[in-house]
Amino acid sequence: MQILKERIQKYGKNLGHGILKVDSFINHQVDPVLMDSCGREFAARFASINATKILTAEISGIAPALMTGLYMNLPVVYARKTKPITMPDEVYLTLAPSHTKGRMVELIVSPEYLAGGERVLIIDDFLASGATIAGLVRLAEAAGARVIGIGTLIEKIFEGGRELLTPLGIPIESLVCITTMDDGKIEFLK
Amino acid sequence: MQILKERIQKYGKNLGHGILKVDSFINHQVDPVLMDSCGREFAARFASINATKILTAEISGIAPALMTGLYMNLPVVYARKTKPITMPDEVYLTLAPSHTKGRMVELIVSPEYLAGGERVLIIDDFLASGATIAGLVRLAEAAGARVIGIGTLIEKIFEGGRELLTPLGIPIESLVCITTMDDGKIEFLK
């Protein structure tokens, strides 16, 4: 997706160790118009999969997931990392390593909003190691739902997430693919 | 705002102690179409204040803020509650009590995305005690920015937030106002 690629080229920062800082338009400051375009693009790419729900992880998955949900007319559930007092005692919970926090985090979904038989589209900001998305897949499976597509804004293909998720046999769509971040560079898939 | 009020009447749950559970359309599962309508409404109400940026707090302020930003064509900054590794060492940080967590939480904004001279519109999901929003006001002031409007989806007028914020002398818009939640009821301002 050209406009997202150009934004990364212009404002993305390679902080080393595979960390791509996109805080000026995705992760701390968000550009709603850009997210709107990304949501529209996901909706087009996943138009035919007949999803019934979008699942993402707080925090930075919310913006692209919300815009995708808008164009697909689907509810969005975001897995919480801490259990709020409004959530029932019995929940679906899994652990996933956080790349930017350097530790395991919990991913929690209430059974109220993820039911057996749902067809789940996972949307997130990054596909890196795939660990967070694999965690979301486990939550969906625990609920008896079926994940039928995965969409991410930015894939770092050198971190192996696609290999981890390919056995699911479902479409995986990334709007931008980065091939290497070695030596301070940010190189895109041609 | 009638559609939001109807949604609360139909799906909101009074959990006691002033806690309104709206997890099925705002706080865990989000209805993007409803949020789109709310964003459109905020954009109309704040059309003339000449804001340059929208400020909210993660997590549940993100959806209404994003949709407002879309219709006002403004960037959205969400204050973080933990400092990610992509953030510089020097930040704007304040503490605010969390109603649903029962403890103080940090609100952190990077100086990269909140600058002196900005005209800030604060958007959040709830106006209750006003403590979180007052924290966002302090962050904006620390950055030399000026808060020129406050918009929330749901105001619990019995918790006094409006009294706390009125001295700011700026417009405070809530899409729905709840007058009491005593005895398991949810009553709306006529």
User: pLDDT 10s per residue in chain A (190 long)?
Assistant: 999 999 999 999 999 999 999 999 999 999 999 999 999 999 999 999 999 999 999 999 999 999 999 999 999 999 999 999 999 999 999 999 987 677 899 999 999 999 999 999 999 999 999 999 999 999 999 999 999 999 999 999 999 999 999 999 999 999 999 999 999 999 999 8
Per-residue pLDDT averaged across B22-50, rounded? 98
Judge contact between B119 and B51, C-beta under 8 A.
yes
List of chain B residues whose C-beta atoms are within 8 Å of the C-beta of residue A78: 28, 30, 59
The answer to whether residues A62 and B62 touch, using CB atoms and an 8 Å cutoff, is yes
Which residues on A lie below 8 Å from B21 (Cβ)? 86
Between B102 and B132, name the one with better pLDDT: B132
Q: CA of B128: how far to CAs of B100, B159, B164, in Å?
A: 11, 5, 10
Using CB atoms, which residue from B36, B63, B84 is nearest to A100? B84
DSSP state of B78: E
Residues 6+ apart with CB under 8 A from B50: B119, B148
Q: Chain A closest CA to B164's CA: distance in Å?
A: 25
Q: CB contact, 8 Å: B127 with chain A? A: no
Indicate the pLDDT class of residue B38, thresholds 50, 70 and 90.
Answer: very high
d(Cα A22, Cα A38) in Å, to the nearest integer? 15
Q: Does A32 contact B at CB distance below 8 Å? A: yes
Q: Given B66, B73, B100, which is nearest A30 (Cβ)?
A: B66
Instruction: List b or e across B68-77, with b for residues whose CB sees 16 or more CB atoms inside 10 angstroms.
Output: bbbbbebbbb
Q: Does the CB of A58 have a partner CB in chain B at under 8 Å?
A: yes
pLDDT, residue A99, reads 72
Closest residue by Cα to residue B23 from A116, A50, A83:
A83
**Mean pLDDT of all residues in B102-122:** 95
Q: Residue B16 has what DSSP assignment?
A: S
> What residues of B are in contact with residue A62 (Cβ under 8 Å)?
30, 59, 62-63, 66
Residue A20 near residue A13 (C-beta atoms within 8 A): yes
Flag if B73 and A33 touch (Cβ within 8 Å).
Answer: yes
Q: Do B86 and A59 touch (CB under 8 A)?
A: no
The two structure tokens encoding residue B176: 């729905």
* Residue-by-residue DSSP string for B126-187: EESSSHHHHHHHHHHHHTT-EEEEEEEEEEEGGG-HHHHHGGG-S-EEEEEEEEE-GGG--E
Backbone angles phi, psi at B172, to 5 degrees: -120, 115
pTM for the full predicted model: 0.97
Residue B102 domain flag: no
Helix (H) or strand (E) holding B11: helix B2-11
Q: Nearest Cα to B95, choosing from B78, B79, B77, B110?
A: B79
B77 vs A28, A63, A73: nearest CB: A28
Given A29, A73, A84, which is nearest B33 (Cβ)?
Answer: A73
Among all chains, which residue has been given the structure tokens 């990334």?
Answer: A174
> How many residues are present in chain A?
190
Average pLDDT over residues B160-189: 98
Residue B49's pLDDT is 97
Predicted pLDDT of residue A98: 83
Q: In this structure, are residues A64 and A153 in contact, taking their beta carbons and an 8 Å threshold? A: yes
CATH of the domain at B66: 3.40.50.2020
pLDDT at B30: 98
**CB-CB under 8 Å, B33 with A70:** yes
Cross-chain residue pair A87–B28, CB shorter than 8 Å: yes
Cα separation, A85 vs B48, whole angstroms = 38
- What pLDDT digit, counting tens, does each position of A140-183 carry? 999 999 999 999 999 999 999 999 999 999 999 999 999 999 99
Confirm or reject contact between A69 and chain B (CB < 8 A). Answer: yes
List the single best residue of A11, A14, A30, A139 to mutate versus B (max B Cβ within 10 A). Answer: A30
User: Which positions in chain A touch B78 (Cβ < 8 Å)?
Assistant: 28, 30, 59
Number of domains comprising chain B:
1
Using CA atoms, how far apart are residues B82 and B108, in angstroms rounded to an integer? Answer: 7
State which residues form the domain around B133: 2-77+112-188
